[in-house]
Amino acid sequence: MIRWLVHRWMPAAAAKGSRGLPTPDPVDIAAVARARGGKAVLAAPAGHEPAPALVTGETNLSAPALYDAMLRAALSGPRCFLAAAYPTRLQAHVVVRTERLDIPEMVVLQAVETGEATSAAVMLSVGVYACPGSGARRRLLAIWLAALEQEIKTEERQ
């Protein structure tokens, strides 16, 4: 009964994967983070504007290699689906669905160059609907950053 009510109120929750949502266009992550304020959670390098909730470190990977590692880390999680990828911009949009009610969340991933052979990850978690809260979004990004760290270690060993 509750699931039926949620799906009537939030139609995209009735869909599976990335279906039910429009295909996202590339975005300026900083502009979206500023516009969404406390309703979005940003993970970015120190000194990023706006200030990130979670700080990402610089890697010794090229930005394209980091982008690939970010996609592998994000899509390895449960209920995670690629909504759009823009490899030339090193940006991707991933839909994450909540476990119980399939409520979709959107996470934007982008690899940015920080030097000649270094890069950093930028991630922005934004609710499609008003829930879940920023605490859940922050936990999700922390899990993805830990998975990304493992991907980077694997990449550096190769």
Structural domain containing residue 87: 2-157
pTM confidence score: 0.84
Rounded Cα distance between 67 and 112, Å, is 9
Rounded Cα distance between 23 and 2, Å, is 28
If one counts the domains in the chain, the total is 1
Top pLDDT among 112 and 115 is at: 112
pLDDT tens-place string over residues 79-105: 899 999 999 999 999 988 777 766 778
Q: Is 58 exposed, middle or buried (0-12, 13-18, 19+ CB in 10 A)?
A: middle
CATH number of the domain that residue 48 is part of: 3.30.310.80
pLDDT tens-place string over residues 17-35: 455 567 778 999 888 888 8
- Report pLDDT for 111: 97
